[in-house]
Structure 1
Amino acid sequence: MLALRPLTALKGVGPKQLEKLHKLGLFVVQDLLFHLPLRYQDKTHLTPIDNLYAGAELLVEGEVFAHTLTSTRAGRRNSLLVKLIAPSGATLTLRFFHFHPAQAKQFSRGKVVRVFGEVRLSANGFEMVHPSIEFINPNVPPALSNTLTPVYPTCEGLGQISLLKLMVQALAELNQNPLADLLPNPVLDTLELPSLNHALLTLHQPQPEDDLSLIKQFKHPAQQRLIIEELITHQVALQQLRQQEQTRFAPQLPASRLCNALLTSLPFELTQAQQRVLQQIQHDLAQPHPMQRLVQGDVGSGKTVVAALAAIQAADAGYQVAIMAPTEILAEQHLNAFSEWLNPLDIEVTWLNGRMKAAEKRFRLAQIESGDAKVVIGTHALFQDAVEFNRLGLVVIDEQHRFGVHQRLSLHQKGHRIVLEGAEDLENAAEVQEPQEAQEVPKNLNSSSATAGQFHHPHQLIMTATPIPRTLAMTAYGDLDLSVIDELPPGRKPIDTAVLSNTKRTEVMAHLVAKCAQGVQAYWVCPLIEESELLHAQAAEVTANYFIAHYPHLRVGLIHGRLKGEQKALVMNAFKAHQLDLLVATTVIEVGVNVPNASLMIIENAERLGLAQLHQLRGRVGRGDKQSHCVLLYQAPLSATAKARLNIMRQTNDGFIIAEEDLRIRGPGDVLGTHQTGTLHFRIADLRRDSQWVDAALHWAKYLVQTQSPAIEALQARWVGQKIDYQHA
């Protein structure tokens, strides 16, 4: 079977060559066929030296007229200059900076050479630098290629010639033994796309009449045929995960009267968007299978109180809630908010962090294991093996993109607890073995009727204040239900944003001091802790010391990642209590810090931060009823990308518009924080470029899953492999 044939079946692939191919992610012949060219060279016709033009890659033939060694600078290695001449007298110079003396001797006068390379215009006229060369017999010239020549992605020690030889063998086998066209005919007919094998042959060996401009833009039908298959396969995996979750048992958590008690005690009313999302969550929690819901909400939209109401529903049903935050600052803020809301309802709230002393940590762990602590808040400390939940029913993950896949999966698995209603002692519990796979649970089974031997998965509520573009959310989180809080609390005013050169820094400082004298609180954000001339970034410590030295009446606090947790907490609490006028900080305050009186934000060296980070930082102000302002200071000169980012920040406060631009600029891996995890890695598809195919891919993925297509397993083997294991984390 061609698809699974090992690469060692190809001529020329030994152990060393195989190791290099593995570095490129190539393991079987099918992988080689899906290793597409980066670009193409047109060696199908010769261009006379008389007709050369700068900037083009051309195939040229000429007679060696002379060769010389020359050096342009003292101490530099000689370069080899070879002059080719046409019958008309027109000339082309070949320049080689790296060459062997024996190579120079090859260019004897009168020899005929065929070269391919980019034509440049220099003081010597037209020239090529390090072209590919072939000495030919003019009486029996070699035939020209009848297809465009592909240039493949490669790695050190594996040259284009070696890779081309392997491709030729693989394509010859493809012609004899075509790959299975796994997409059903209705898909190909509806989308009007070619067969898989025709697409592969076209892309590896495009003919001169093929539209190379379409191929360069990734708009050729052959490319789109592969893109749609890859996207469909990815969506199939997500749809199967969604189906799998529906078969797992979760505790049914009925609506709680305590939710109404909290709502009536709040000094504000929920927005319609919050109410809508809360109803969706409450409905999910009452089901016998795990909720898998992603809640998106722009900065300040009120996700935390919605999570608190979900926690009440779980706690009142007798289950524990784990709330995971990416930073200690945000975790402590959640602790304060949840304690204020839940303690009056007799729901015990506790937390874990990495800096607790041993005795306190033992006490907290015992609280969690006994079940006395109903709501547990923490950072990565919740991942530790020592953390044993008694009856985990709900996991809330805040700013999920900041956690690695394996971390999220680790916390999720802590809920795989055996349900032992009526078990008399722990020894009985130890005898019950958790099955390898989740068993299907009858629709009417609830937590009270569970028997020994069954186990449950916790419900998952995943939250992000970094809005995710629709097509990206569908592709990355297609196994989750999506809720959007698309409304800000009433009274919130848009933040006025200005972009200023760093030359205005002193004036901005004076303006800030004047505002603080009027009762305003302000942030001054620096991206680095220490001075760095290389990055032209002012350090937080230097800036704080400047304010203290020049404005002695200004109450200044400093916070950065190197401070111990206790110090951070002291500074933040002082700022919240308005015991400080100015908080100088690094980007450690990016997420979750909530001080309603703070209405002025200065971000220094803003050109060095991404759109999502700038939007999150700006969201630390604008949380009260005052008009808030944000100043983005930049260090000239600005790159085109940095200029575009700052203009977007100045033009809009809408996080969803900003997210779309962020996707366009940075790409999906960086936007989701999965760049290092590989969870959203595509071989051919690119969500920035191919977003128009996402809806079609979802439609046909559902079709394949619903019809139980036998092609699903083969599609996943071809495109996804083992990556599917972590998609649901």
Structure 2
Amino acid sequence: MNRSLNDISVTTLKGVGSALADKLGKIGIHSIQDLLFHLPMRYQDRTRVVPIGSLQPNSDVVIQGKVLASEVVMGRRRSLLCRVSDGTGSISLRFFHFTAGQKNNLKPGAEVRCFGEPRRGATGFEIYHPEYKVIQPDAPIDVEETLTPVYPATEGLTQQRIRSLCEQALSLLANEDSLQELLPDTIRQKYRLSPLVAAVKLLHKPPPDISTELLGEGRHPAQQRLAFEELLSHNLSLQQLRKRVQSIGGFAMPPKSQLTDSMLEQLPFSLTGAQQRVMNDISQDMSAIQPMLRLVQGDVGSGKTVVAALAALQAVENGYQAAVMAPTEILAEQHQINFANWLKPLGISMVFLSGKTKGKKRQEVLEQIANGEALVVVGTHALFQDEVHFHKLGLAIIDEQHRFGVHQRMALRKKGEKNGGLPDQLIMTATPIPRTLAMSAYADLDVSVIDELPPGRTPINTVVIGDDRRSEVMQRLKTACLEGRQAYWVCTLIEESEALQCQAAEVTAELLKENLSELSIGLVHGRMKSAEKVEVMKAFKEGHLHLLVATTVIEVGVDVPNSSLMIIENPERLGLAQLHQLRGRVGRGSVASHCLLMYHAPLSRQSKERLQVMRDSSDGFVIAEKDLELRGPGEVLGTRQTGLAQFRVADLERDGDLMESVRNAARELIEQSPECAEPLINRWLGRGEDYANV
């Protein structure tokens, strides 16, 4: 058989019709190769019969013995209880769901072989609903020769069924070429990687003496062999895409310094050393003919927007347009205000475009973008709609990239292709991306970090408090506001519904107005008209409001230096990165700032852990690492919907230590065996590589 197992459908296996194929498709299994890479999540040891007298609780075992007694007992729930002994001890088997046939099979005197987990119960050790079979007393002790795999499954797909399909798939591995070894020998030897077929066979059928501890942790050499190859294919796909982008070419936009120098002169502050360093990186990239692909990470409040504005000016000085895209209306409006403050005095024409720009105004804006009159365009995802045509787009600045869907980002990049090249891309995020994740998910990007906060920022004191102390919190809030400080009260998402979230914010605002009549209180939420939101935010920024009640729309980009107190209700509903973003709205002035995380008891173990991290750390990178550990890469990057970082075997948190070797191996493979790259990418990603083409 010379056909690749990737090309052979699971429907060729015995017993797989269209209904079963649909169920397998739900867990990503379409080909025989998919089935072989669908690895067990854990294993059961059915390779030996354990004497009943030596049983320990809470671990699966095989036992064999004679049924001494069997009866239906009436308790809180009716159950069939069988007492089994093997001469070394006795144990009860308990069935809450049973048939007359079972009751008849398990009568006194029957010899049974059982598999299950002993627990302490009303009669001593008990196994609830064990797997069992009645055997002949003198039958040889026939046990499994390898550990029994337990596979990830879905509704209507039993373990027995998946095991039998995997058995069939493994039988096709007799021909070593059917699952081709794509890693060159030099790379396998250098990084001590076992042969692929041997690793796959071992993971589906491990010998009884294997280290179950290593297997359980995903650190067995066979698991690491597959994880390495999968991470390598991701890295190769990103490097290939980078090469493709650079082969198309972009626009050289060297610094002319006139506009940028004018802007720097009029700023009321000096750039930090980190901002200057990152600006130099960007300026150098923009001077080259290859399109810039740069990710700028900077913690909340580190001053990324100024750097973005200076980059936009460098594009404008060279006769190109710059587009600035933000994921939410409120953040896009904030960028519009900041950019206008810095660029309009220099005579730079700007327009704003969002989904809410309608009618005649929209037509005007679209014309100004198309004829090049608008040099800087700020907006939301409306910027990549088909009707938006740029005159000469040279730079796309994308804020909080991970909040956009893949196809949206690709569409914006294509807006610049008509001029014979690709626009430079500057991607900004205030969500620090853990290094292991950046090395994997952003292998096609150069990364700059603004790792220095502007002088004069004060540390934020974070307190975790139960919502049973709400009245106490209100008093504290009142005192702080009457002393001249400003505060936020954030209402978090309710059951993923924006309507309910906005309603909750309205109810909270009314409640606070009743209890704190001395304070002037404003409200902002996602369902308000854009002009209303801007008006409320302006009143808050100018100090006319003591307190702003808001939904998480204020998560990014809102800058009010006098606000020094933030109360976040139900913080357990949010991810760490989002909590860190929200907290970053205070601590922007010189006065001591506080963030109160007001949770609703009882908290899960994971929620307690998350809130503890927030209390202990204000370092965005520490928080991001923890977020990755607790929520997984697809959640952290906001890419569950696109398939990015949804690995089959690899785990970025667990296998982070492989990333350095993977990156080196990718370089070596491209230099020494470039013909292996495409098959590797197809094996692990298929057409999934499109996600990085942005």
TM-score range, shorter chain: over 0.9
Q: Does 1:38 align with 2:44?
A: no
Greater Cα offset, 707-716 or 238-247: 707-716
1:393 counterpart letter in structure 2: G
Alignment partners' CA distance in 2, 1:524 and 1:676: 31
Q: What is the match of residue 194 of structure 1?
A: 194
Q: What is the match of residue 211 of structure 2?
A: 211
Q: CA deviation at 1:57?
A: 0.9
Q: CA deviation at 1:2?
A: 4.8
Alignment partners' CA distance in 2, 1:200 and 1:193: 13
Q: Does 1:134 align with 2:133?
A: yes
Q: CA deviation at 1:480?
A: 0.6
Q: Is the 8 A contact 2:38 2:151 kept in 1?
A: yes
Q: What is the match of residue 369 of structure 1?
A: 370
Q: Does 1:648 align with 2:613?
A: yes
Q: What is the match of residue 688 of structure 2?
A: 723
Choose the corresponding residue for 2:630, options 647, 657, 665.
665
Change in CA separation of 1:92 and 1:395 when aligned onto 2, cut-off 3 Å: same
Q: CA deviation at 1:488?
A: 0.9
Alignment partners' CA distance in 1, 2:38 and 2:197: 14
Runs (5+) with no aligned partner, structure 2? none
Q: What is the match of residue 92 of structure 1?
A: 91
1:175 counterpart letter in structure 2: A
2:252 counterpart letter in structure 1: Q
The Cα RMSD (Å) is: 2.2
Greater Cα offset, 547-556 or 53-62: 547-556
Q: CA deviation at 1:293?
A: 0.6
1:130 counterpart letter in structure 2: H
Q: CA deviation at 1:32?
A: 1.4
Alignment partners' CA distance in 1, 2:408 and 2:496: 33
Q: Does 1:259 align with 2:260?
A: yes
Change in CA separation of 1:30 and 1:182 when aligned onto 2, cut-off 3 Å: same
Q: What is the match of residue 480 of structure 2?
A: 515
Change in CA separation of 1:554 and 1:384 when aligned onto 2, cut-off 3 Å: same
Runs (5+) with no aligned partner, structure 1? 420-454
Alignment partners' CA distance in 2, 1:607 and 1:164: 39
Choose the corresponding residue for 2:31, options 9, 28, 39.
28
2:416 counterpart letter in structure 1: G
Alignment partners' CA distance in 2, 1:682 and 1:531: 26
Q: What is the match of residue 243 of structure 1?
A: 243
Encode CA deviations 1:154-207: one digit per residue, 9 max, x unaligned.
Answer: 222222222222222222221343532222223222222321122112111111
Q: What is the match of residue 637 of structure 1?
A: 602
Q: CA deviation at 1:528?
A: 4.7
Q: CA deviation at 1:549?
A: 2.0
Q: Is the 8 A contact 1:235 1:698 kept in 2?
A: yes
Q: Does 1:152 align with 2:151?
A: yes
Q: What is the match of residue 627 of structure 1?
A: 592
Encode CA deviations 1:587-641: one digit per residue, 9 max, x unaligned.
Answer: 1111111111212212222233221111111111122232322222223333332
Q: Is the 8 A contact 1:531 1:542 kept in 2?
A: no
Q: CA deviation at 1:87?
A: 4.1
Q: What is the match of residue 563 of structure 1?
A: 528
Q: Does 1:415 align with 2:416?
A: yes
Counterparts of residues 304-315 of structure 1 (less than 5 Å):
304-315=305-316
Change in CA separation of 1:17 and 1:526 when aligned onto 2, cut-off 3 Å: closer
Q: Is the 8 A contact 1:536 1:635 kept in 2?
A: no
Q: Is the 8 A contact 1:33 1:171 kept in 2?
A: yes
Q: Does 1:574 align with 2:539?
A: yes
Q: CA deviation at 1:536?
A: 13
2:407 counterpart letter in structure 1: H
Change in CA separation of 1:22 and 1:502 when aligned onto 2, cut-off 3 Å: closer
Q: CA deviation at 1:24?
A: 2.2
Alignment partners' CA distance in 1, 2:594 and 2:305: 24
1:220 counterpart letter in structure 2: H
3-state DSSP class of the match of 2:675? coil
Counterparts of residues 517-532 of structure 1 (less than 5 Å):
517-528=482-493
Encode CA deviations 1:268-309: one digit per residue, 9 max, x unaligned.
Answer: 111111111111111111211211110000111111011111
Q: CA deviation at 1:53?
A: 2.6
TM-score by length of 2: 0.95
Counterparts of residues 318-717 of structure 1 (less than 5 Å):
318-417=319-418, 419=419, 455-528=420-493, 539-717=504-682
Alignment partners' CA distance in 2, 1:259 and 1:712: 43
1:642 counterpart letter in structure 2: S
Change in CA separation of 1:333 and 1:96 when aligned onto 2, cut-off 3 Å: same
The number of residues matched between the two structures is 687
1:321 counterpart letter in structure 2: A
Alignment partners' CA distance in 2, 1:530 and 1:576: 30
Q: What is the match of residue 50 of structure 2?
A: 47
Q: CA deviation at 1:109?
A: 3.3
Alignment partners' CA distance in 2, 1:410 and 1:395: 11
Greater Cα offset, 589-598 or 63-72: 63-72
